[in-house]
Structure 1
Amino acid sequence: MKTLKPLYFSICLSAATFSAFAQTPAANPEKWTLQACVDYALQHNLQVKQSELTAETNQNNLVQSKANMLPSLAGSASHSYNIGRSIDPFTNTVVQNETVQSNSFNLGVNMNLFSGFQTRNTIERNKLSTKASELDIETNKNTIALQVVSAYTQILFSQELLKNAQTQLATSKSQVERTEKLVKAGSLPMTNLLDLKAQMAADEQNVVTYENQLDMAKLNLLQLLQKPATETIDIVVPNVDAPQESVLQRNAQQIYEAAEKTQPQIKAAELRIQSSERNISIAKGGYMPSLSLSAGVYTSYSSIAQRYVYDGSLVEYPTGAYWKDPVSGSNVPVYSVTRGGHAEKFAYFKQLDNNLRESVSFSLNIPIFSNLQNKTNVANAVISRQSARYSAESTKNTLRQTIEQAYLDAKLAQKTFTTTQNQVTAYQESFRATEQRFNVGALNSVDYNQAKNNLNKAETDLIRSKYNFIFKMKVLDFYEGKPLNF
């Protein structure tokens, strides 16, 4: 079963296309078709939902890696109180015993211009990872759907076995009733009746056994549908014809070559190899220089900031210097003349406008020695690529071995079905003759029961081999790209 798992992955979704299962009779809308069972299971299965979340996460990572090529914009603002001795942020001078309130505002842009193509390679890697995770969803859906197909088929198989057992029981009851009359008439000994009643009890036991088997098959399907065992389920019974004695037209290698091109787990493994190669390129990008651009706008405010307002007058004040008058020979003081005015409080928004400043800078980073970090990253990326190659090869080997096993199983199932058909035909003829002799009293009940049991076993084996052959052939049909219709 473990070997067949990848094979089962692929057949289940396609099994939902079985035309005989696809329509529910209008007269009984509560019956479940195979299509309805598969759809319901896929909608409620937690493993499928988990793989869908993983794909969504990879999609988000892809979007983020693309967004990393855009510039980043950030702003900041601050407000502070300084009491006592502090620095006036407006003049950068020391002030004593003052309470200074200040604001600062900053708006900056950063953009990565070049980083050794790491951003571009990260985008390509995330694209591959996203595609691989989407294929994982299909693989998980195939797994669940195949389990539903198997459980659905098991119910059909159990129902047919139960029907056959009920027919055998009806035959035994008819013989018991007939023999009771003959025993009362003295035509047959009591031992014949006792033997037939024992056979009828065995047939009743078979009916109970197959009823239990049917209940277990239905429970299995309910669990796959995430439904409680307290619910009941009734499925549509299609017209399943006996498989034809056909010869397999293609060998296992030809089937594998066709399946290798379509199976989602193979495609996902190949995408992960490509993703690992991108990881190597990303790691090698660590050896290359990086260039970034930064730009910003800044301004600030101080509660003790003042500005000088001129009123148009002139003011003279001595500078403390003198010059000697060449005529009188006396020292004449030197005065400085400035415009008159007064200091006033600097308004908030005018101060912000006055303090506004801008900057643009480029930063070049050249790696020289990074404690062997880049070398280690490249080496680990190379190892991861080889691991991905081994995983892909293992997946292909598993698929090939699964197909080879399925091909052999189909051939053996074909031989078993053919042999069992011949066996049933022989036992039917034998039982017909035995029953005729028994009815005329020419044969005892022991021989009659033996012939009946032989026929019953042969018919049970035929039912089992019939469904086994059908399923094996449908498996190979899927790999060959044929529609899975009954």
Structure 2
Amino acid sequence: MLTRKNSTTFLLSLLFLLSGKLNFLFAQEVWSLEKCIERGIEKNLGLKSTELGLQNKMVSLREARLQQLPTLNASVNYGLSIGRNIDPTTNAFVTQNILFGNYGISAGLPVYQGGFVQNNIKYNRALTEASARDYEQAVNDLSLNIAGLYLSVLLADERVEISRKNLETVTAQRKNMERLVEIGSRAAADALEINAQEARAEQTLISAQNNAEQARLQLRQQLRLESTAALVLQRPDEASFRNIENESYTAEQLYQIALGNQPGIQSAERNVMAADIQKNMARAAYFPRISAFGNINSRYSDAAKTPTTFSDRLDSISGNFNGVPVTFEFVNKVPADYKTISFKEQFKQFIGYNFGLGASVPIFNAFNARTSVQRAQIGKSQAELALETRKENLRLQVSQAVANVKAAIKEFDAAKKSYDVTRLVSENTQKKFEIGSANSFELTTSQNNYAAAQNSLVIAKYDLLFKQKILDLYAGKKIR
């Protein structure tokens, strides 16, 4: 027997456990559709690969722009020449080992390239924009895929709830039937039918729970969550099921709207632009190319000497003067000692400059330019065909999407009517069963019909919502 003290302790412990349980439940993170899409965009590996492709195109565009800048290069050579060599500073033959060095700075600037550089920038800009639209299209496709998985989980959860309530109802009826059989108000055969109905309801619940867990697992995998991570989803309100004024759109009107906002179409348009620019790039090979250049050079050799002291030397020159042989003598200053010219002095002494313009004029290149232009023209035609194909596919998809929403609205309305009717029939059959004017078979049949109508209604509801999400994309709206 519990004392007052023990009772107080028990109640406090129970409250503590319940509060912990409630805190755990309230602390669970609720995932909205928008949050799931953000997570998917952040973690999806395929999208990351597409993003890297976009970054690569941006690098190519930056590289094309930098081709307008001049080039500047420096060169340094330093080495040892052994044996009989030419002194690079005097061009005289000497027999000695020489340490030598050559130094230079060269610059170049493209002046005229037949428009190739400017067109290359435009070409890479168009490709970058196309890649950016491809990334946006991949985001849209991923968002729609996540929305489908998200709604599949909500649908599966509602079907679990329907199955659970149906099982609870059948279990209560089975217990009531057992009581009636005990007091003799009902035959034992009626109890058997209820027991079979309860077993079927339990099986249906287990199947619904398995389907819900499978749907939740697929969503976790798409979001790259742990397989055991809790995933509590936010349910949409009823207003979400009619959030698009579908009747205000015809298929043609929605198609014209989609043409202006669908990234896949915009990407194909940029590819056509790029192909047209590439044709102009190929034509640049018909024109001459002019570039400016400039160079600064100097050199060094340890064989380069300069005299430090001089000595007097008596020299003579023989000749004739009025037919008489004469010899003239004179004193000549000759170097007596040498030193190597310093690097600084040699660098200044031998420095040289040159600059000018260079031209390359195409005369005959085995028709390479013509072939490149023809190939570019074919590429443009292919890009135009790809654009028209995408437009045609978009028209078909929009028409199908509008028709699907209209059909889904009708199915939802029909399912709602069926639900209302079967609910009334089930309630009426339950009352008849309680007063003995309906048997257990009629009762279970009406309940099965009611459960089927409930399932049909939630299926129609989420099917309508998903198809409206598709219209959202074509109308240029964000999925949320």
1:125 maps to amino acid = Y
Question: By how many angstroms is 1:236 displaced?
Answer: 2.3
C-alpha separation between the residues in 2 aligned to 1:148 and 1:73? 52
2:3 counterpart residue number: none
List per-residue Cα deviations over 1:53-82 (Å, max 9, x = no partner).
Answer: 111111111111111111111111111111
1:15 is matched with none
The 2-side partners of 1:384 and 1:137 are apart by 22
**AA in 2 matched with 1:227:** L
Conserved 8 A contact 2:246-2:405: no
Partner residue in 1 for 2:197: 199
Pairing 1:407–2:406 present: no
Partner of residue 89, structure 1:
88
CA distance in 1 between partners of 2:334 and 2:93 (Å) = 26
Question: In structure 1, what is the equivalent of residue 297 of structure 2?
Answer: 298
Shift of 1:307: 2.9
The whole-number CA distance in structure 1 between the counterparts of 2:317 and 2:77 is 43
1:481–1:183 distance in 2 versus 1, CA, 3 Å? same
Q: Is the 8 A contact 2:126 2:270 kept in 1?
A: yes
**How do residues 1-400 of structure 1 correspond to structure 2 at under 5 angstroms?**
27-28=26-27, 30-96=29-95, 98-241=96-239, 243=241, 248-308=247-307, 317-319=315-317, 322-325=319-322, 329-333=323-327, 340-342=334-336, 344-345=338-339, 346-400=341-395
Structure 2: which amino acid aligns with 1:300? Answer: R
Q: Call closer, same or farther: CA 1:179–1:242 in 2, change over 3 Å.
A: farther
Q: Within 2, Cα distance between the matches of 1:180 and 1:216?
A: 37
Give the secondary structure class of the aligned counterpart of 1:50: helix
Change in 2 beyond 3 A, CA 1:170/1:114: same
After superposing the two structures, state which structure 1 stretch, 221-230 or 208-217, moved more.
Answer: 221-230
**Distance in 2 between residues matched to 1:306 and 1:362, nearest whole Å:** 37
Q: Which amino acid aligns with 2:435?
A: V
Partner AA of 2:388 in structure 1: E
1:480 matched to which residue of 2? 475
Larger helix share, 1 or 2: 2
Tell me how far apart the structure 1 counterparts of residues 81 and 240 of structure 2 sit (CA, whole Å). 94
Equivalent position of 2:454 in the other structure: 459
Question: Equivalents in 2 of 1:91, 1:465: separation in Å?
Answer: 97
Deviation track 1:179-212 (CA, whole Å, cap 9, x = no partner) reads 1011011111111111011111111111111111
| Gapped regions of structure 1 (runs ≥ 5) | 1-25
**Separation of aligned partners in 2, 1:461 and 1:27:** 32
Number of equivalent positions: 455
Partner of 1:3: none
Distance in 2, matches of 1:451 and 1:433, equals 9
Distance in 1 (alpha carbons) for counterparts of 2:330 and 2:419: 132
Distance 1:359 1:308 in 2: 31
Measured after TM superposition, the shift of residue 315 of structure 1 is 6.8
CA distance 1:359–1:251, shift in 2 (3 Å): same
* Structure 2 CA distance for partners of 1:248 and 1:483, relative to 1, 3 Å: farther
Q: Which amino acid aligns with 1:89?
A: P
Where 1:261 maps in the other structure, the secondary structure is helix
3-state SS in 1 of match to 2:247: coil
In structure 1, distance between residues paired with 2:116 and 2:215: 54
Q: Distance in 2 between matches of 1:247 and 1:385?
A: 38
Q: Tell me, in whole angstroms, the C-alpha distance in 1 between the residues paired with 2:103 and 2:245.
A: 83
1:246 positional shift: 7.4
Offset at residue 231 of structure 1 (A)? 2.5
Q: Tell whether 2:432 aligns with 1:433.
A: no
2-structure distance, mates of 1:107, 1:246? 70
Q: Which amino acid aligns with 1:231?
A: A
Q: Is the 8 A contact 1:310 1:339 kept in 2?
A: no
Query: 1:81·1:101 contact (CA, 8 Å) conserved in 2?
Result: yes
Give the Cα–Cα distance (whole angstroms) in 1 for the partners of residues 356 and 332 of structure 2. Answer: 40
Please give the alpha-carbon distance, in whole angstroms, between the structure 2 residues aligned to 1:102 and 1:263: 67
The offset of 1:319, in angstroms, is: 4.8
Matches of 1:41 and 1:377, distance apart in 2: 43
CA distance in 2, matches of 1:305, 1:246: 93
User: Residue 437 of structure 2 is aligned with which of 442, 458, 481?
Assistant: 442
Separation in 2 of the partners of 1:434 and 1:150? 38
Once the two structures are superposed, what CA deviation does each residue of 1:29-61 show, in whole Å capped at 9, x if it has no partner? 522222221111111111221122111111111
SS in 1 for 2:295: strand
* 1:323–1:334 CA contact under 8 A, matched in 2: no
The verdict on how the C-alpha distance between 1:209 and 1:95 changes in structure 2, with shifts beyond 3 A counting, is same
Q: Identify the range of structure 1 (85-94 vs 280-289) with the bigger mean alpha-carbon deviation.
A: 85-94
Deviations 1:375-432 (A, max 9, x none): 1111111111111111111111221111111111112112211222222222222222
Q: Report the CA distance between 1:27 and its aligned residue.
A: 4.2
Q: CA RMSD in A?
A: 2.3
Alpha-carbon deviation of 1:318? 3.8
Which AA in structure 2 matches 1:117? Answer: G
- In structure 2, relative to structure 1, the CA distance for the partners of 1:262 and 1:270 (3 Å cut) is same
Instruction: Report if aligned partners of 1:276, 1:388 keep a CA contact under 8 Å in 2.
Output: yes
Deviations 1:333-370 (A, max 9, x none): 46788665456222222112111111113211100011
Residue 416 of structure 1: aligned partner: 411
Matches of 1:395 and 1:181 in 2, distance apart?
68
SS of residue paired to 1:407? helix
The AA in structure 2 aligned to 1:271 is R
Q: 1:259 to 1:456 in 2, by over 3 A?
A: same
Q: Percent identity?
A: 26
